[in-house]
Copies of this chain bind each other. A is one copy, B any other.
Amino acid sequence: MSTISRDVIETFENPYPHRDYVIESVCPEFTSVCPKTGQPDFGTLTLTYVPDALCYELKSLKLYLQQFRNHGAFYESVTNQILDDLVATIKPRWMKLVAEFTPRGGIRTVVTVEHGSR
């Protein structure tokens, strides 16, 4: 099982730090592995945030998320962990992550986590 490092996330300076504005990234190609069954899981991650001093760079976000490809992770843990890693890296004024997973056993799961409030 692979390990996840948030060090791959690159950042750039927020070009308009004096204004509160919102950046949303929709990532429909997320996949990880169920730690119980070893079966792959699939989902769409929607990240929304108000940047402070830093923004994440999109290509490095993709590489960060690809680390989960062969990584065992429960829905609730992986969603919270990704939010924590991104908050630690870019320290946004506010951030939300909605993770929608494809059905398993006929049940579809959505986990929503938030850092700060608007």
Query: Which residues of the partner chain B approach A112 to less than 8 Å between Cβ atoms?
Result: 21-24
The answer on a CB contact under 8 Å between B24 and A109 is yes
The answer on a CB contact under 8 Å between B15 and A29 is no
The answer on a CB contact under 8 Å between A24 and B110 is yes
Query: Which residues of the partner chain B approach A109 to less than 8 Å between Cβ atoms?
Result: 23-26, 58
- A59 vs chain B, min Cβ distance (A): 6
The answer on a CB contact under 8 Å between A59 and B21 is no
B interface footprint on A2-25 (CB within 8 Å = 1, 0 otherwise): 000000000000111001111111
Q: Which of B31, B70, B76, B106 interacts with A15 by CB under 8 Å?
A: B76
Q: Can you list 11 A-B pairs with a CB-CB distance of less than 8 A?
A: A15-B74, A16-B80, A21-B112, A23-B111, A23-B112, A24-B110, A26-B108, A28-B108, A39-B105, A58-B104, A62-B107
